[in-house]
Structure 1
Amino acid sequence: MKHLLLVWHSQSGHTRQLADAAASGAREFADEVELRMRNAFDATLDDLLWAHGLLLGTPENFGYMSGGMKDFMDRTYYPAEGKTIGLPYAVFISCDNDGSGTVRAIERIATGYGWKAVAEPLISRGGLAPGALDQACELGQMMAAGLSLSLF
C-alpha cells in the first residue's frame, strides 16, 4: 500500500474546497493508496516521513504561500533533511493574483528537500475558477494512480 499525504491551508475556504476535490480523486484508488489529509498546522514530520507522495494546497497571500504552509515546511525541513529525497509532489494554489510567487517559493523549498515535481502547479485565480474543482480532482487521481502504478 502506497501513502499519499495531502497538506492544505485555507482561510477563505477556496483552498479547502480544492483540497477536498483532490482528496476525492485520490480516494478513487483507496485499494492501492492510503490518503492522509492534514491541515498544515496539524501536519507533522511523522506524516511527511510516512508519505510516498505529497500534495500541497495553499492560498497565495501577498504573493507567497500561506503562513500555515510555511509553518509546516519550517517545522519539517531540517528534521526531514536527507529523508525525503525524490518524494513526488504536486501543488494547488488558490489566489486573487497570479500565483507565480507562491509557485516559486514552494519550488525553492521543495528543491532543498530534494522533492520531485510530477505535475504542473494547479492555480485557481479569482477564488474558485471555473473547472478548478474538476482539475483538483484530476490532480488527486493522477497522484494516486502514479503512486499505485509506481510511476514515480
Structure 2
Amino acid sequence: MAESTKVLVVHHTVSISTAAVHEAALQGLGIEELAEVEAVSLPALTAGAHDTLTAHGIVLLSPVNIGYLSGALKHYFDQVYYPCLEATKRLPFAAVLHSGSDASGALRALEAITTGMEWTPVADPLVVEGEPDAGVREQISELASTVGAHAAGMM
C-alpha cells in the first residue's frame, strides 16, 4: 500500500479565536481536490520528530505571546530541530499567527527557525488580529490548501 500524503497541522489553540484559526486550516485541507491528503492535527506540546519526519507539508498555527511565538510552538521546534534538520529540508510549510498587537518578533523568530531548517514557505505568514471573520477564515483555508497542494505535488 502506498504511503498517504500527510500534512501536519501543529497548533496551540488556547482561545476561541485560535480555535477558529485551527478549524479554518482543517477546512482548507478537507477540500475535495485534496481528498488524497491526510490532515494530521497535533497540539504543539505533543507533536514531535516522528510526526514531522512523516509529514509531506506543515501548517503552523500559534498565538503571539508577548510579541513572540507561543512557548508551545517553540517547544515543538526545540523537539524537532536536530532530529529533523537534514531529513526535512525543502518541506513545504505555511503559518498563521494570531496576535492582539505587534507580531513582528514572532515573525522574525518563525523566519529564523524555518530558514535554519531550510523549510520552503509556500505562502506568506498570515497574521490574524482579533476574532477571524469569514474573509480571514477563507484566507486561512486557502493557506492550508496551498500547503496540501504542494505536499501532494500538485503545485
Does structure 1 residue 59 correspond to structure 2 residue 75? no
Q: 1:106 aligns with which of 110, 127, 130?
A: 110
The offset of 1:87, in angstroms, is: 0.5
Q: TM-score, normalised by structure 2?
A: 0.90
How far apart are the structure 2 equivalents of 1:127 and 1:71? 25
1:143 aligns with 2:128: no
Aligned to 1:97: 101
Q: CA deviation at 1:7?
A: 0.3
The count of aligned residue pairs is 151
Contact preservation (8 Å) 2:8, 2:42: yes
* Equivalent of residue 90 in structure 2, options 86, 93, 107: 86
Alpha-carbon deviation of 1:81?
2.0
Q: Residue 47 of structure 1 corresponds to which residue in structure 2? A: 51
Question: 2:105 is matched by which residue type in structure 1?
Answer: G
Equivalent position to 1:31, from 10, 17, 35: 35
TM-score (norm 1): 0.91
Looking at structure 2, the residues matched to 68 and 39 of structure 1 have their Cα atoms a distance apart, in angstroms, of 8
Matches for 1:95-134 after TM superposition, within 5 Å: 95-128=99-132, 131-134=135-138
Q: Verify the 8 A CA contact 1:97 1:126 in the aligned structure 2.
A: no
Measured in 1, the distance between the counterparts of 2:106 and 2:134 equals 21
Deviation at 1:47, TM superposition (A): 0.5
Quote the offset at 1:98 in angstroms: 2.8
- Whether 2:4 is the aligned partner of 1:10: answer no
Structure 1 unaligned runs (5+)?
Answer: none
Letter of the 2:27 counterpart: S
How far the C-alpha of 1:126 sits from its partner, in A, is 2.9
Query: What stretches of structure 2 of length at least 5 have no aligned partner?
Result: none
Which range is displaced more, 41-50 or 24-33?
Answer: 24-33
Instruction: Report how far residue 46 of structure 1 moved.
Output: 0.7
Residue by residue over 1:59-115, the C-alpha shift from the partner in whole angstroms, topping out at 9 and shown as x without a partner, is 000110001000000011111121110001100011011322111101100111110
Residue 26 of structure 2 aligns to which amino acid in structure 1? Answer: A
Instruction: State the shift of 1:18 in Å.
Output: 0.6
**Secondary structure of the structure 2 residue equivalent to 1:131:** helix
> Which amino acid is the alignment partner of residue 9 of structure 1?
H
Q: 4+ residue stretches of structure 1 with deviation over 6 A?
A: none
Q: Kindly provide the amino acid, as one letter, of the partner of residue 97 in structure 2.
A: I
| % identical equivalent positions | 36
Checking the alignment, whether the CA contact within 8 Å between 1:95 and 1:127 is kept in structure 2 is no
Counterpart of 2:142 in structure 1: which amino acid?
E
